[in-house]
Structure 1
Amino acid sequence: MELFFYWFDHLGVAVFAISGTLLAFRKNMDGFGVIVLASVTAIGGGTTRDLILDLPVFWAHDPTYLYTIAVAAVGTIIWLRFRDYIHQKTLAIADAIGLAFFTVMGAQKALEAGFPPLICVVMGTITACFGGMLRDVLARDVPMVLKGELYATTCLVGASVYVFIAPYNALLALLVGGFVTLLLRLGAIRWQWHLPVFHEHGDSR
């Protein structure tokens, strides 16, 4: 089971590295910009999680994660050589898949380290959101987490599902929690789901 979690984590890193590379392509960045954006997207959230939880930073103790980022970025660059344009929806869908992976893996790592369920949910959300937020800030975009569509909320729900099921079946929790996160995020992209807070109103003058 640990080996499965390990490769599942690598898959999440690869997907987010692809997401960062796609955005770098849209922004016409050079090779260094591609590597920076791919790396920040792929390991930014997990690094933040490990620092907050006072755990060893995962990629510093296992450099194969860096190789995963490099392979994913180079593979995406080769694929992009045959395309002239990347639609914003493509980036959003790639980001949604990475979001689902990292939500459950972040919650799983915190749970494995013995932290209470609420902290596990928060760590799952940070793991999923923070790398993408850094990516968007470096690319001078409005971070997806701050846009109107449901984003961090989907991570909170998915991580909560994972934490609820995990004591009974870890693998099922991983699959269901990730699927719920992905489904909610894709629904938010497709139907513009959001949490209304402020309502539009006329000029009060």
Structure 2
Amino acid sequence: MKQYFIVYKPYLVLSQFTSELKKQTLADYFAVPKNVYPVGRLDEDSEGLLILTNDEQLNHRLLNPSFAHEREYFVQVDGAITQEAIQQLQQGVEINLSGKMYKTKKCKVELFKEAPTVPERNPPIRFRKEIPAPWIRMILTEGKNRQVRKMTAKVGFPTLRLIRYRIEEIELGNLQPGKMIELQQKTIYKKLFHE
């Protein structure tokens, strides 16, 4: 039987169920059948939406680059990000991927007028009174290794906190870190692939 879960992966948790490194994993938070795994991953220092499933077709369609799909991130950056930096991000920037330079695809980037409502992070980001830490929304159609962090660093505003909020029409909504909900197959296919 195919099963589908969406979870809010907490900060400093690996996107896997086992670890030899004594680090926290998904198994510390989510009890799912043995054959259910995350589709894709979020870095240990990133948080937010992960899909867990045993549906190999879904896995293929979400991870194969030929099926581009939107991923929306809430990104808190170090410093008062400029309009020029936002435009650079939108046009694509060169980042280093395993020693090779790669130009990111065009994407949507905007500054939040007010900080989004997000759960507290434990531990919180380092707060410095004299340096602003605004939030931007980034909507990408690709997912290279540490792409968002490399992109914001490239334009001079390193990422302090990174939350994946949405994949296509599946959103975190009010889901809190370490929480999970199960979805029906027809719901997940409709929200992801508009079927």
In the superposition, the TM-score normalised over structure 1's length comes to 0.26
State TM-score, norm by structure 2: 0.26
Which is bigger in relative contact order (C-alpha 8 A, separation at least 6)? 2
Task: Select the structure that is richer in helix.
Answer: 1
Q: Looking at secondary structure, tell me which structure has more strand per residue.
A: 2
